């Protein structure tokens, strides 16, 4: 089994910096060093509790106006698995159509967050085999215009189902528009002796004698009963008329061609979905096609739907309009309207199996693209508990709706679970892989703050790390792991914790210097988050003083340990805490510490308190309770002013965001 340290190859291990009883399992790999009596940082070994696995389902809810609906909770949804009611334990709304606010948090001085909107993942897939040769240009130009409706942050890929290549997601929408406009249809024309419609050809191929009789009467000029049977005709070659037999063979060939083309396109689409399985987050496939023949008796989409669920792929199909008659055509299909419906039904089955919908696209009409862009504004991540009967490796039917009238819910229709439930070891391996990942993971918001404090050991400092993740309602626990690496690539501390409410803290005693902290989280909904924070472990040295970082924590009893916040708080009472020592380890001189709460845009304090100071073993600590009652929600700073002989000689600050309950 692997520990965090041993699994993170590429870094050296500082054995004397990691707890000597590091378990062989990640569950007990926490390296907690130099615990302080004032600050609560998880002195106990982390406890990993068994839990019921949750199955997640992406669902889009739109109102009567076609816009995505926000503000629903778990009680608003009704979910059924194989016809049996299941309780929705969590409903988390994920919104994409919002201003980019997270980038300001990413490189903050005192904390780091992965809360940057990385945009949506959208794939425009062109089913060239189901678009007539040299046709589809107006539709593809409309698809190019669809890119103008997307946010510049959205990452988009363009691919063809005829010639699939490795997907490349890019924000260079202009380059993608040029590629879309170069694509055209490549559908193979079918040359027929008889004027047969696609619908009647498939029915004849499926054995409909009534449909065959109608076609024979129309194309051969005589009733089917007027012809000798095939068996008798073989004995009477002179009297044999091959028209009915040729018509039936041609109908079977036309039907076989349509169904084969559908299988080829579905296989390419399935390969595309499998390739997207390792790409984090939901993906939307915009499929452009003139339709395909998908007979549910011959093609079961349950497997494709299950794979789409695993990969979190939704398919929105654009059914390109086909003129009933063109000047180049010599004949009009006798079932032209029903042929269009037959092809459209195939797209409807495909989209319905994967949380999508079908839109008719007439020429270059941008309306369907606007509707898709609106639906992609956000979705709900629902979760329900997996039962023993769900774990049979088979596909299970799922349906989701809401009690609100006029609201439409789109959710995938099938899910499939492996026979074995997720084990602790598998979750450990996923966490280790996440910590080793190069690219950030942003689906689970994760924030981390560091503060540097004095330590009794000469030449050493105590770094306190606070981490938090935005757990989903009804699924509060988050598996969190971390690794602290010094400037030489040596691991100073590592570990993992099953964090209740998504919050955890630890400390490590380290030399002064530069460090990189990586924190990862996996919640019960299998969302992942990863954030990397470079920082310098150092104190503030000024006016003959060494001053620690300023810590903010929810207020508690006078002798209670502090639980530092990262950045945001809803508590109306905060404790501010700072440590002071004289230069060269001497006792701190007589200074007064004054804590003030100020808004970012003003210097006038909204709250001010003189700290209660304590001296012990040459270390001075200053602590005060700050009341935020009456303070409006917003961004603020707490500053600690060190005053000597009536003059401010030093100042340390800590920003925070206040959002009262």
Distances (CA, A) of 499 to 49, 85, 292: 11, 30, 49
Type and span of the H or E element at 88: strand 88-95
Backbone φ/ψ region at 644: left (φ over 0), alpha (ψ -120 to 50), beta = beta
- CA 92 from centre of chain: 12
Contact 483, 491 (CB under 8 A): yes
- Higher per-residue confidence, 621 vs 14: 621
Which two structure tokens, joined as six digits, stand for 62? 């739109």
Residue 363 has a pLDDT of 80
Find the mean pLDDT for residues 364-380: 87
Q: How far apart are CA 351 and CA 634, in angstroms?
A: 43
Q: What is the mean pLDDT of the chain?
A: 81
Find the mean pLDDT for residues 167-185: 87
Type and span of the H or E element at 498: strand 490-499
CA neighbor of 339 nearest in space, from 316, 321, 363: 321
Tens-place pLDDT, residues 119-154: 889 999 999 988 887 677 788 888 888 898 888 888
Which two structure tokens, joined as six digits, stand for 528? 């992942």
Residues 6 or more apart whose CB falls under 8 angstroms from that of 196 comprise: 204, 215, 219, 247, 250, 251, 254, 333, 334
**pLDDT-derived band of residue 103, with 50, 70 and 90 as boundaries?**
very low
- Evaluate if pTM is beyond 0.75: no
- Phi, psi dihedrals of residue 80, rounded to the nearest 5°: -130, 140
Give the 3-state secondary structure of 555-608.
CCCCCCCECCCCCEECCCEEEEEEEEEEHHHCCCCCCEEEEEEEECCCCCCCEE
Residue 615 has a pLDDT of 65
Helix (H, G, I), strand (E, B) or coil at 226: helix
Maximum mean pLDDT: which of 85-89, 240-244, 352-356, 359-363: 85-89
* CA end-to-end span of the chain: 44
Tens-place pLDDT, residues 198-207: 999 999 999 9
Residue 23 has a pLDDT of 32
Residue 395 has a pLDDT of 84
- Phi, psi dihedrals of residue 351, rounded to the nearest 5°: -70, -40
Q: How far apart are CA 180 and CA 137, in angstroms?
A: 9
Contact 644, 593 (CB under 8 A): no
Helix (H, G, I), strand (E, B) or coil at 13: strand
Residues 6 or more apart whose CB falls under 8 angstroms from that of 333 comprise: 195, 196, 197, 198, 339
Q: How far apart are CA 279 and CA 272, in angstroms?
A: 12
Q: Which residue has the tokens 């099938």?
A: 414
Find the mean pLDDT for residues 205-227: 88
Contact 91, 74 (CB under 8 A): yes
Residue 329 has a pLDDT of 60
Q: How far apart are CA 478 and CA 501, in angstroms?
A: 7
Q: Taking 60 as the threshold, does the pLDDT of residue 4 lie above it?
A: no
Q: Taking 50 as the threshold, does the pLDDT of residue 360 lie above it?
A: yes
């Amino acid at each position: 089994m692997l520990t965090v340290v041993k699994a993170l190859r590429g870094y050296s291990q500082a054995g004397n910096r990691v707890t000597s009883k590091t378990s062989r399992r990640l569950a007990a790999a926490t390296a907690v060093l130099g615990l302080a009596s004032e600050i609560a940082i998880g002195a106990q070994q982390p406890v990993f509790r068994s839990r019921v696995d949750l199955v997640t389902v992406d669902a889009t809810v739109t109102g009567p106006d076609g816009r995505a609906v926000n503000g629903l909770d778990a009680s608003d949804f009704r979910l059924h698995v194989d016809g049996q009611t299941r309780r929705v334990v969590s409903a988390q709304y994920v919104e994409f159509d919002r201003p980019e606010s997270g980038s300001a948090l990413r490189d903050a001085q005192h904390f780091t967050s992965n809360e940057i909107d990385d945009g949506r993942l959208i794939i425009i897939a062109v089913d060239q085999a189901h678009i007539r040769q040299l046709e589809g240009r107006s539709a593809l130009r409309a698809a190019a215009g669809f890119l103008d409706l997307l946010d510049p942050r959205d990452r988009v890929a363009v691919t063809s189902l005829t010639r699939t290549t490795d997907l490349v997601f890019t924000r260079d929408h202009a380059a993608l528009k040029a590629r879309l406009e170069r694509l055209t249809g490549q559908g193979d024309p079918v040359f027929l002796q008889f004027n047969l419609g696609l619908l009647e050809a498939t029915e004849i191929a499926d054995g409909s004698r009534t449909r065959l009789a109608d076609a024979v009467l129309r194309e051969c000029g005589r009733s089917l009963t007027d012809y000798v049977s095939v068996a008798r005709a073989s004995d009477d070659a002179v009297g044999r008329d091959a028209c009915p037999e040729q018509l039936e063979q041609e109908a079977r060939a036309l039907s076989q061609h349509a169904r084969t083309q559908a299988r080829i396109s579905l296989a390419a689409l399935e390969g595309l979905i499998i390739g997207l399985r390792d790409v984090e987050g939901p993906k939307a496939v915009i499929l452009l096609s003139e339709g395909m023949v998908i007979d549910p008796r011959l093609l079961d989409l349950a497997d494709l739907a299950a794979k789409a669920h695993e990969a979190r792929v939704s398919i929105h199909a654009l059914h390109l309009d086909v003129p009933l008659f063109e000047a180049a055509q010599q004949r009009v299909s006798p079932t032209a309207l029903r042929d269009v419906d037959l092809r459209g039904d195939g797209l409807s089955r495909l989209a319905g199996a994967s949380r999508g919908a079908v839109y008719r696209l007439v020429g270059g009409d941008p309306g369907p693209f606007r509707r898709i862009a609106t639906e992609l504004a956000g979705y709900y991540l629902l979760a329900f508990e997996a039962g023993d009967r769900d774990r049979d490796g088979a596909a299970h039917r799922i349906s989701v709706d809401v009690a609100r009238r006029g609201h439409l819910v789109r959710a995938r229709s099938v899910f499939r679970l492996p026979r074995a439930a997720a084990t602790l070891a598998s979750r450990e391996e996923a966490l280790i892989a996440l910590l080793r990942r190069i690219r950030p993971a942003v689906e689970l918001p994760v924030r981390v703050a560091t503060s540097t404090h004095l330590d009794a050991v000469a030449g050493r400092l105590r770094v306190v790390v606070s981490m938090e993740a935005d757990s989903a309602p009804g699924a509060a626990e988050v598996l969190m792991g971390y690794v602290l690496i010094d400037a030489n690539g040596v691991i100073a501390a590592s570990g993992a914790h099953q964090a209740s409410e998504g919050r955890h803290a630890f400390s490590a005693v380290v030399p002064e210097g530069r460090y990189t902290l990586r924190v990862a989280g996996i919640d019960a909904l299998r969302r992942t988050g990863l954030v990397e924070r470079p920082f310098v472990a150092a104190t503030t040295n000024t006016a003959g003083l060494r001053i620690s970082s300023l810590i903010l924590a929810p207020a508690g009893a006078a002798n209670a340990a502090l639980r530092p916040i990262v950045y945001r708080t809803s508590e109306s009472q905060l404790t501010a805490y700072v440590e002071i020592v004289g230069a060269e380890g001497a006792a701190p001189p007589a200074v007064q510490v004054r804590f003030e709460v100020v808004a970012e845009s003003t210097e006038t304090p909204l709250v001010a308190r003189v700290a209660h100071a304590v001296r012990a073993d040459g270390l001075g600590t200053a602590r005060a309770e700050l009341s935020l009652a009456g303070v409006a929600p917003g961004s603020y700073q707490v500053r600690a002013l060190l005053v000597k002989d009536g003059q401010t000689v030093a100042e340390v600050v800590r920003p925070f965001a206040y959002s009262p309950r």
